């Protein structure tokens, strides 16, 4: 079968077939039984109900341990290669919900080293981007007492011994097969996956007992964690549990919001005017004339404005269904939907931006080993 998409930790392109991707990676779907189980801990997050977080590895096992009183910790991260946009916030918002629901500590890794190695950026640039991105993370309200931020170049002393143990178990041929590296790849990139694995095992090292780890993140990160899970038993580390989401779509109708198209990307620092302009230009798949739209209706399935409601901005399932029905019947027009979404995004951003300012006061207190930004 020919795939017209590509999903790797460094490149996401094409029309992503998420079911096929799940089969290819060998992850397990989140089925009704698992959703029902999750509902015992609190109201199931819309991103789970709606199949945005849609696949996992070993989630049942993690919950079995949790039910026995063996708490897990959360781990996710960010590669600081540019300004934070809504696509980045999506999995972080979900992590915050997990933290609140299960009352668990969290590690947030910022891979300034990774983006130095893989992109045309200096270490100074990736570090200052990491600071800017960290403000957005902190602004989401993670518990400052139990949430710690790892900046790789600052926390390498804590990560390095674990990285070495992982590195000794991963051959060049595995790295080539998993990540598609070749002889022209710089050797830092080849080693990097061991650095991304390290936080998953850090609490186990620190506490001297197997501490379960849950990693909710985009499915594009699975290659790293396949390798980490493969080597874990041999190092007496628990295999991290994975919970994967789909990519956050772009406003242009594409499968991933990406800084390569700034007009289709809403940054956390955008002004209300920027948002209005960008949403105004969003792809809707609607008809070209009002008459035609009234007669034929629209197609929410391809509409970026609908997707934004579905992924992030409309939590009420009834309202989502209402939007679908009215759109298909030609009762609401794209202009109205765009205006409503613009307002929702601007309400969210206004609050986020003030929390982001306040985050400057606490971001120092949340660093893993007390490093100063
Ligand atoms: N490599 C990730 C990125 O490019 C950053 C990252 C580091 C990460 N550790 C993680 C993402 C753990 C998810 C989970 O964004």
DSSP letter, residue 41? G
Kindly give, in sequence order, each residue whose CB lies less than 8 Å from that of residue 37, ignoring residues fewer than 6 positions away.
60, 63
Considering the chain, what percentage of its residues have pLDDT values greater than 70?
A: 99
d(CA 294, ligand 1 centre) in Å:
44
Residue 21 has pLDDT above 90, yes or no: yes
Residue 73 has pLDDT above 90, yes or no: yes
CB 247 within 8 A of CB 274: no
Half-sphere CA count of 120, side-chain side, radius 13 A: 0
Write the residue with the smallest CA distance to atom 10 of ligand 1: 77
Q: What is the mean pLDDT of the chain?
A: 97
Write the residue with the smallest CA distance to atom 8 of ligand 1: 77
Q: Residues 284-292: what's their mean pLDDT?
A: 90
Q: Between the CA of residue 49 and those of 45, 129, 309, what are the distances in Å?
A: 6, 33, 14
pLDDT tens for each residue of 100-147: 999 999 999 999 999 999 999 999 999 999 999 999 999 999 999 999
User: 263 — phi, psi (to 5°)?
Assistant: -70, -20
Question: Mutation test of ligand 1: which of 9, 73, 90, 111 has the most ligand atoms closer than 8 Å to its C-beta?
Answer: 111
Q: Quote the CA–CA distance of 149 and 165 in Å, as a whole number.
A: 22
Q: Which atom of ligand 1 is nearest to the CA of 215?
A: 14
Q: Quote the CA–CA distance of 218 and 248 in Å, as a whole number.
A: 9
Q: Quote the CA–CA distance of 140 and 146 in Å, as a whole number.
A: 14
Q: Is 258 in the pocket of ligand 1 (CB under 6 A)?
A: no
CA diameter of the chain: 68
Of the listed ranges 176-190, 217-231, 287-301, the least confidently predicted one is 287-301
Q: Residues 226-240: what's their mean pLDDT?
A: 98
Write the residue with the smallest CA distance to atom 4 of ligand 1: 79
In 208-271, which residue ranges form alpha helices assigned H by DSSP? 222-231
Task: Report the pLDDT value the prediction gives residue 2, as an integer from 0 to 100.
Answer: 67
Q: Is 76 in the pocket of ligand 1 (CB under 6 A)?
A: yes
d(CA 152, ligand 1 centre) in Å:
11
Is the pTM above the cut of 0.95?
Answer: yes
Task: Report the pLDDT value the prediction gives residue 251, as an integer from 0 to 100.
Answer: 96
Q: Residues 36-61: what's their mean pLDDT?
A: 98
Q: Which atom of ligand 1 is nearest to the CA of 199?
A: 9
Q: Quote the CA–CA distance of 63 and 98 in Å, as a whole number.
A: 12
């Amino acid at each position: 079968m020919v795939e017209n998409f590509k999903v790797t930790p460094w490149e996401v392109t094409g029309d992503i077939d998420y079911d096929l991707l799940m089969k290819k990676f060998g992850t397990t779907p989140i089925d009704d039984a698992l959703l029902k189980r999750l509902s015992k801990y609190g109201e199931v997050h819309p991103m789970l109900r709606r199949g945005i977080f849609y696949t996992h590895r070993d989630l049942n096992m993690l919950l079995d341990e949790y039910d026995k009183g063996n708490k897990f910790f959360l781990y996710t991260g960010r590669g600081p290669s540019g300004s934070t946009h809504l696509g980045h916030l999506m999995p972080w918002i979900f992590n915050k919900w997990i933290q609140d629901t299960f009352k668990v500590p969290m590690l947030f890794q910022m891979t300034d080293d990774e983006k130095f190695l893989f992109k045309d950026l200096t270490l100074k640039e990736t570090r200052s981007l990491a600071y800017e991105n960290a403000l957005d993370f902190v602004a989401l309200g993670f518990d400052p007492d139990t949430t710690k931020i790892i900046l790789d170049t600052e926390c390498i002393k804590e990560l390095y011994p674990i990285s070495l143990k992982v590195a000794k178990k991963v051959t060049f041929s595995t790295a080539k097969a998993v990540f598609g590296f070749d002889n022209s790849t710089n050797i830092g990139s080849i080693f990097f996956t061991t650095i991304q694995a390290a936080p998953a095992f850090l609490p186990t090292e620190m506490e001297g007992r197997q501490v379960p780890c849950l990693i909710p993140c985009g499915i594009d990160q699975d290659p790293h964690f396949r390798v980490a899970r493969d080597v874990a038993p041999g190092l007496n580390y628990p295999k991290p549990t994975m919970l994967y989401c789909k990519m956050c779509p772009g406003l242009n109708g594409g499968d991933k919001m990406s800084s390569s198209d700034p007009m289709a990307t809403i940054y956390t620092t955008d002004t209300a005017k920027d948002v209005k302009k960008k949403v105004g230009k969003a792809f809707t798949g609607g008809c070209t004339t009002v008459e035609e739209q009234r007669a034929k209706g629209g197609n929410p399935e391809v509409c970026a404005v609908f997707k934004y409601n579905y992924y992030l901005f409309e939590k009420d399932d009834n309202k989502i269904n209402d939007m679908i029905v009215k759109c298909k019947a030609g009762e609401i027009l794209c202009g109205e939907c765009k205006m409503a979404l613009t307002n929702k995004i601007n309400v969210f951003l206004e609050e986020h931006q003030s929390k982001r300012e306040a985050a400057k006061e606490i971001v120092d207190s949340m660093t893993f080993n007390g490093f100063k930004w």
